[in-house]
Chains A and B, each alone.
Chain A
Amino acid sequence: MAKTIDITVPDLGEFENVEVIELLVSAGDVVEREDGLITLETDKAAMDVPSPENGKVESLTVAVGDTVSTGDVIGTMSIQVDDTVVIAPAIAHEPTGDTTVLASPAVEGVAAKSGGVQTLIVPDLGDFEDVEVIEVHIANGDEIDVDDPLVTLETDKAAMDVPAVVGGRIESVLIRVGDSVSAGASLAIIEARASEAPPVDASQATEKTLVMSEAQISEVIASPEQSVQQSGGIQALTVPDLGDFDDVEVIEVHVNVGDEIDIDDPLITLETDKAAMDVPAEFGGKIESMDVSVGDTVSAGASIGSIDARASVAPAAGAPAATETTQAIKTPVSAAPAAPSAPVEQTPRSLPPINESGFSKAHASPSVRKLARELGVNLPEVKGSGAKGRILHDDVKAFVKAILTGKAAARAGAALPKTPVVDFGKFGDVEEQALTRIQKISGPRLQASWINLPHVTQHDEADITELEARRQELKGPAKERGVPLTPLAFVLKACVKALQEFPKMNSSLSEDGKSLVLKKYCHLGFAADTEQGLMVPVIRDADQMTVYELATALAELSGKARDGKLKANELQGASFTVSSLGGIGGTAFTPIVNAPEVAILGVSRSSMQPVWNGSEFEPRLMLPYSLSYDHRVIDGAAAVRFTTYLAQVLADVDGLLEGTG
């Protein structure tokens, strides 16, 4: 059923009579909760008025130039209220007259991924927020299985599918193509199949029967987010689908009983003959038990242990929505002190996550800290303009405004001279082609690196005659094992060795430019050319890998990059990047550092060259490469030492093959 609600201006704090500078929607638009409806501008900052609910805008009663204050009605919208019996905060209902007895699985929906109405949400996206939905794979009424893709999201790095965590029938799809979503956003309501529920602690699965009149059913309204959390409770942790592998060895256990972990934290590492892989946690919470130890072999579905899962929080409901709900359930109800039921959770109005340790040291007074918490501003990132770097109210507002208007990134470039604007049509026929989404996003990043980092490029070459001869020998047997032993795998291995020798190359400059952050890990990014544009997948812990493992990882990640299947965490965390164009050609180029990394290695095409060995010219296979580096961190001499060392390492094929038996 649908109902119409007023859209009001939320609490504007100290501001009154704020000017409407933009209407972001018009009557008839379908919007999602938290979508911006109109933009207000105070003398301090511009801010959007978010939609209180998912629904359709019926009318807007303000125009650009109007002024509004807290609580003013700016329009109306119709919202779809879910007819499914969803229980608002544990209200038991007075039996009156004709009653329908409903054994409601919905109540238990809060307790586990058991059957019942649940909301499918966007999982942790790593660093990404406001990611665009580029495809929706489900429609109302669809029957789906666990892991079926729900939607495809596209970040600036890659497109990724969001799989279903439960199977069942899609009751209602809450998003559309073009929406942008963040972790926790609701995607769809699903009537889950109970049979697929993982084991649930008995105490959580208290049977609960609701007695309510039909009249009341329609009165009991809860916005979906009030019913949907996967609540706390003991959840089983199991080994996911391992593809073709069975009886895989556990080579590392990352958690202990009692540990507090977050969703996607690695639980254990499994090693097949092809690669090691981490099994991530499906839930955040406290580890209750662990059933595996190093050396065990496991297969898909095996129990890893159990976790006391934290209630996952649905995105904050705006105050208007909460009030609406409250009024809807005001119908007198009986308290019928029933047996303890599983906790029914209201929508938590959680604060945006904040770096607490940094926050607690920021030079800001209590009132500024309060404002920062409200706005979700991470104070350590704010530069204080007060005496001795004190962060003032205006600094926090300016920070938010800069982000809202995108000026934070653009400011540096604003003063740069512009390239001339030319009407090319004067000179002949032209066709305009839109940049791909990835190009649109990678462009500013490349520019930011180019503008901010003083780049120097060092060219050098390595004698890979023996390396290539040995690779040709090993290639066939490796291929039989399914490993495409490419030259790039050897180059990556050589880079690992060189980075270990020159740790500064594996560092980043701190934000204030006053110190160097040396990374104790070695995650190698490699540039992958795809139809959508340039992507940089990351091989984690490359220093732990043999050439064969690197080759396997390269093949896997390149494949995923081509198919647009890279996950967010496979695009993050690189500490050094390699860009190989050698497969195509070229003798040298000047790659742009993938900031905040400090160096990038560009690899060109190897060729047979006459090399003077002291008495004669000898034909040697030479590999040219180019190291671009951030001159603020790396001295020229250090860069040459690095490239020279790299040449030595590449010439020593036995060294590169060590660990491979």
Chain B
Amino acid sequence: MADHNAQLLVIGAGPGGYTAAFRAADLGMDVVLVERWDTLGGVCLNVGCIPSKALLHAAKVIDDAQAMADHGVTFGEPKIDALKLRAWKNDVIGKLTGGLGQLAKQRKVRVIHGVAKFTSVNTAVLDSGESIQFEQCIIAAGSEPAMLPNLPDDPRIVDSTGALELDPLPKKMLVVGGGIIGLEMACVYSALGTDVSVVELTDSLMPGTDKDLLRPFLKVIKPRYEAILTSTKVTGMRATVPGIEVSFEGDNAPSIGVYDRVLIAVGRRPNGDKIDADKAGVTVDGRGVIAVDKQMRTNVPHIFAIGDLVPGPMLAHKATHEARVAAEVAAGEKSAFDARSIPSVAYTDPEIAWVGLTETEAKEQGIDYEKSQIPWAASGRALSLGRAEGFTKLLWDKQTERVIGGAIVGPSAGDLISEVALAVEMGADAADIGMTIHPHPTLSETVAFAAEAFEGTITDLYMPKKKPK
């Protein structure tokens, strides 16, 4: 007899897993949620989105205070108490994860701590030896930081989890990998006083992102960072007493550099192959990815998979939406993952956010689009924030005049992009956006301006070439 029986077993309590478990419980299912860590919330809450945002907020306060010196308000040099900063960050985590525990209790979701692996299509076993029998299952086991091979075993080489510990604050840090995670941590450390270098294998930071989005960002970080080495390969690392000695290969790269902290942020690897999925008959590909249909079913119809270990971007907000679909389908509802766009945000300073079609994709796919772009220099609010470097860009379908994608660079871009996401999902056209009254003066006005620019009705800029409507 199994130690636990469940109508629905959810493996992993990250944003995907807990959302799935809670939604299924709300739909009347008897749910067991298995989590390997002591707290719920997964990478996102414990060592990802949330703690990094707490540190990024601290970084932004420091940077903003310094920037005000030019405008007549001068503060003293900031004193960084890394211990206290870390404690505050951990306090934020604690509040959220504790809240999740409460939410689970209220819903009578049975949380079991342990590492679950399948033993058959309807059974799993925990590392404690306890067995769980389930009727249906949602795999939400997430991903973990990818590491480079052959690294020296040295505490000064960390992954994103280690970097969030700020222990101790390094003088010189190298970020290996110019993706969003690496650049966010670079932002934090730079503001806290560390000399930051970034090394990226491809020719551009945030590979795949429209290049124009990076320009305002590079303008901000270039003078602040020690080096931004694109098209550069890390060929070796050696632990020495003064620091980690890193050798590079690249046109403009030094042959060697010494750093007292190296952050490896070269991507994340799905955990699909860590759960003995084969014993349940679930197909996992060589990269740990589990294929699913629009209802998040794996090849085994009563086993679902969501989040980082299914195809698509590894983002918490994608996982939570997939989670709802999986839970609803498991409960017998006719749901399907139907989103037309998933927004992406780099919470760097300035923030970079995009949703829907990017220009890069449009060009690759040969899609005939029109672009309208508003420089934030035209926004009174941006100027009064002292941040005129950003812009808002919208892409349009020429025939229907509907917005099919958009990108925003600048402070709070991640919050502003939601309006564009809603517009894409609703199939809003330029008039819909332009004729919606946006409050003045806000950064959100730039979205309306971009719509007016497409329509040729903008008055806050002079764009003579636009055809009259």
Contacts and interface: CB of A to CB of B under 8 A. Distances in A.
Interface of A: 89-91, 94, 232, 311, 313, 319, 322, 326, 332-335, 337-338, 340-351, 356, 360, 363-366, 369-370, 373-374, 388, 390
Tier of interface size on chain B: 35 or more
Contact of B427 (A90, A332, A363): A363
27 contacts: A89-B121, A232-B299, A311-B299, A319-B332, A322-B332, A332-B5, A335-B1, A335-B2, A335-B123, A335-B131, A337-B120, A340-B119, A343-B281, A345-B302, A346-B301, A346-B302, A347-B301, A348-B301, A348-B302, A351-B294, A351-B336, A360-B340, A365-B427, A366-B339, A366-B425, A370-B335, A373-B338
Interface in B409-430: 425-427, 429
Contacts of B135: 89, 326, 346
A365 B425 contact: yes
A340 B121 CA distance: 8
Given A311-B301, A319-B332, A335-B1, 13 more contacts: A89-B121, A232-B299, A335-B2, A335-B131, A343-B280, A344-B122, A345-B302, A346-B135, A348-B297, A363-B400, A369-B338, A373-B334, A373-B336
B133 to A, nearest CB: 5
Most A-side CB within 10 Å, residue of B5, B122, B125: B122
Interface in B317-355: 329, 332-336, 338-340
B75 to A, nearest CB: 46
Interface majority SS (helix, strand, loop, mixed), chain A: loop
Nearest to A344: B121
Contacts of B295: 350-351
Contacts of A369: 338
A334 B133 CA distance: 9
Contacts of B335: 370, 373
Contact of A390 (B3, B333, B427): B427
A62 to B, nearest CB: 23
A315 to B, nearest CB: 13
Given A346-B136, A366-B425, A333 B120 contact: no
B279 interface: yes
B212 interface: no
Contacts of A232: 299
Contacts of A334: 1-2
A340 B119 CA distance: 7
A343 B282 CA distance: 9
Interface string B279-317: 111000000000000110101111000000000000000
B341 to A, nearest CB: 11
Nearest to B123: A335
Nearest to B4: A335
Q: What 4 A-B pairs are tightest by C-beta distance, nearest first?
A: A343-B281, A335-B2, A90-B122, A348-B301
B26 to A, nearest CB: 14
A341 B120 contact: yes
Given A90-B123, A373-B338, A374-B334, A337 B131 contact: yes
B120 to A, nearest CB: 6
Contacts of B136: 346
A344 B281 CA distance: 9
Contacts of A313: 301
Nearest to B332: A319
Contact of B119 (A333, A337, A365): A337
A348 B330 CA distance: 9
B334 A90 contact: no
Interface string B108-136: 00000000000111110100000111011
Nearest to A111: B281
